[in-house]
Amino acid sequence: GAVVSQHPSWVICKSGTSVKIECRSLDFQATTMFWYRQFPKQSLMLMATSNEGSKATYEQGVEKDKFLINHASLTLSTLTVTSAHPEDSSFYICSAGVTGGVEQYFGPGTRLTVT
């Protein structure tokens, strides 16, 4: 089946610094990837839709200047949390779908802790 990886799986950073999270589709091409955030004991909330070669589409309430998304190729999307604060601590999950398909394949997630 289709595999999606994320790196790093776990990161701790100091308040005010920036963190980059990578999402890769390992064995398929994905023109669209999605970034979700999951707070402890809560559901996944869509943050943004990442489109290869164009600007990302952000959900209402998500700051585009804080959560920078770059979809540079058909297999890689990055999420950069800029000037991170403790309230940004969360589990960030990406998903990708085969072009033209419906099913989404999820990455293992990245746990971000901002101190």
Partner 1 sequence: AQSVSQHNHHVILSEAASLELGCNYSYGGTVNLFWYVQYPGQHLQLLLKYFSGDPLVKGIKGFEAEFIKSKFSFNLRKPSVQWSDTAEYFCASHTGRRALTFGSGTRLQVQP
CB atoms near residue 110 (< 10 Å): 22
C-beta of 14 vs 102, nearer to partner 1: 102
How does strand 110-114 pair with strand 10-13? parallel
* Shortest spacing between CB 63 and partner 1, in angstroms: 18
C-beta of 14 vs 61, nearer to partner 1: 61
- Binding residues for partner 1 (CB under 8 A): 32, 34, 36, 41-46, 49, 93, 95, 97, 102-104, 106-109
* Shortest spacing between CB 65 and partner 1, in angstroms: 21
Residue environment code for 4-35, b if the CB has 16+ CB neighbours within 10 A, otherwise e: bebeeeebebeeeeebebbbbbeebebbbbbb
**Whole-Å CA distances, 34 to 44, 68, 84:** 11, 13, 20
* Shortest spacing between CB 108 and partner 1, in angstroms: 4
Q: 43: Cβ–Cβ under 8 A, 6 or more apart, which residues?
A: none
* Shortest spacing between CB 97 and partner 1, in angstroms: 6
C-beta of 80 vs 104, nearer to partner 1: 104
C-beta of 32 vs 70, nearer to partner 1: 32
